[in-house]
Amino acid sequence: MARADDLFIKTCKTILEDGYMDTSAKVRPKWADDGSSAYTKKVFGVVNRYDLSQEFPALTLRPVPFKNCVDELLWIWQRRSNNVHDLHSHIWDAWADSDGSIGKAYGYQLAQKYEFPEGLMNQVDKVRYDLRHNPQSRRIMTNIYNFADLHAMNLYPCAYSMTFNVVDHKLCGILNQRSNDILVANNWNVVQYAVLLHMLAIDAGLEVGELVHVIADAHIYDRHIPLVEELIKRPTFKAPKLEIDPAVKNFDDFSVDSFKLSDYEHNPQIKGIPVAV
Ligand SMILES: Nc1nc(=O)c2c([nH]1)NC[C@@H]1CN(c3ccc(C(=O)N[C@@H](CCC(=O)O)C(=O)O)cc3)CN21
Ligand SMILES: O=c1ccn([C@H]2C[C@H](O)[C@@H](COP(=O)(O)O)O2)c(=O)[nH]1
């Protein structure tokens, strides 16, 4: 069994068996079809560790939509855009305005430049600089939860901060996430930040180490509960391999086609999962 499946099943079981159902609370998200409240069963505070030097953490219980997932990562971290017209999927359309903007969120924040002793840089370029020049630093971080701009974001950032650390020449990262829709985006986010660590490691001439995923509110939406109950009973397979185009050495040169999952044996996709808005 892939370790990622094991962690996913454990997280789901913890929520289903010990979680709190928020049906009696006033909740923000809604179901788009009838406007009813999208309640969740939730657990506060989940930490999952993925050793990327051992396996690539894609679920085999159902396939991760790998291309769209990497495309969204590049949209945020490399193209640093906040406009859905720069994204190839339609996953953000429900949160975009008539010009396609999702407001001052995600890519917008990573594009902002700040004054550092080494010059004016955005957060991503500062991480790249430090990984090359000060890999032993304990100050290599990004944070897009910018309070000054929250009023101008259509959805507040969920995966909002990364802390990087180099241990024995291996690049490790902690992904801090304030809120995670476990069925739709848990493995989606894990796969994205695993790919990000691979990209930054290659860019800095490092190996990959551990991805630590710290989730504050880990939830399963009410309409997803029967889907998750079925999903976690499925058989699992061994983890796929991540193949990366060996010609690409620079963070800015990666494209969706630079990455491929090989030997990816998985169960069928669950089609038409409703997404709470
Ligand atoms: N409720 C909710 N859950 C989320 O995961 C989420 C939001 N809202 N709002 C903003 C973004 C948009 N994200 C999304 C939205 C939809 C899919 C989605 O529909 N995933 C499908 C496959 C889509 C594909 O094939 O590319 C899936 O089966 O998981 C994924 C991520 C993640 N975020
Ligand atoms: O990368 C992402 C983006 C969004 N989500 C989920 C988590 C929540 O279900 C919603 C956001 O609603 P809030 O009320 O703002 O928490 O989107 C995710 O899991 N991963």
Structure confidence by residue, pLDDT tens digits, 36-67: 999 999 999 999 999 999 999 999 999 999 99
| 159 Cβ inside 6 Å of ligand 2 | yes
Nearest protein CA to atom 22 of ligand 1, as residue: 65
Mention every residue, 6+ apart, whose C-beta is less than 8 A from residue 67. 88, 256
C-alpha distances in angstroms, 180 versus 11, 12, 159, 231? 11, 12, 8, 18
| Strand (E) or helix (H) holding 104 | none
pLDDT over 90 percentage in the chain: 99
Could you give all domains of the chain from N- to C-terminal order, each with its CATH number?
Answer: 3-262 (3.30.572.10)
- Whole-angstrom Cα distance, residue 179 to residue 177? 6
Cα 226 to its chain centre, rounded Å, is 24
pLDDT at 78 over 90: yes
The pLDDT assigned to 63 comes to: 98
Cα 267 to its chain centre, rounded Å, is 21
pLDDT digits (tens, 9 = 90+) for 207-239: 999 999 999 999 999 999 999 999 999 999 999
pLDDT at 1 over 90: no
- Which pTM does this prediction carry? 0.98
The pLDDT assigned to 224 comes to: 98
Nearest protein CA to atom 23 of ligand 1, as residue: 65
| 72 Cβ inside 6 Å of ligand 1 | no
pLDDT over 70 percentage in the chain: 100
With contact defined as beta carbons under 8 Å apart, do 221 and 181 qualify? yes
| 273 Cβ inside 6 Å of ligand 1 | yes
Q: Which two tokens mark 63?
A: 């396939």
- Whole-angstrom Cα distance, residue 11 to residue 7? 6
pLDDT at 34 over 90: yes
| 65 Cβ inside 6 Å of ligand 1 | yes
Mention every residue, 6+ apart, whose C-beta is less than 8 A from residue 126. 114, 116, 118
69 catalytic residue (yes or no): no
Mean pLDDT, range 193-204, rounded to an integer: 99
Which value, to the nearest 10 degrees, does the dihedral of the CA atoms of residues 87, 225, 60, 181 take? 40
Mean pLDDT, range 269-273, rounded to an integer: 97
| 237 Cβ inside 6 Å of ligand 2 | no
Amino acid at 119: G
The DSSP string of 32-66 is: TTT--B--EEEEEEEEEEEETTT-----SSS---H
Compute the distance from residue 119 Cα to the ligand 2 centre, in Å.
34
The verdict on whether residue 270 carries a ligand-binding annotation is no
The verdict on whether residue 49 carries a ligand-binding annotation is no
| 196 Cβ inside 6 Å of ligand 2 | no
The verdict on whether residue 79 carries a ligand-binding annotation is no
Checking ipTM against 0.95, whether it exceeds it is: yes
Ligand 1 atom at minimum distance from 269 CA: 28
Compute the distance from residue 200 Cα to the ligand 2 centre, in Å.
25
Ligand 1 atom at minimum distance from 62 CA: 28
The SS3 call for residue 270 is coil
Q: Which of the following is catalytic: 12, 69, 158, 172? A: 158
The pLDDT assigned to 17 comes to: 98
Pairing of strands 159-167, 140-143: antiparallel
**Rg of the chain, C-alpha, whole Å:** 19
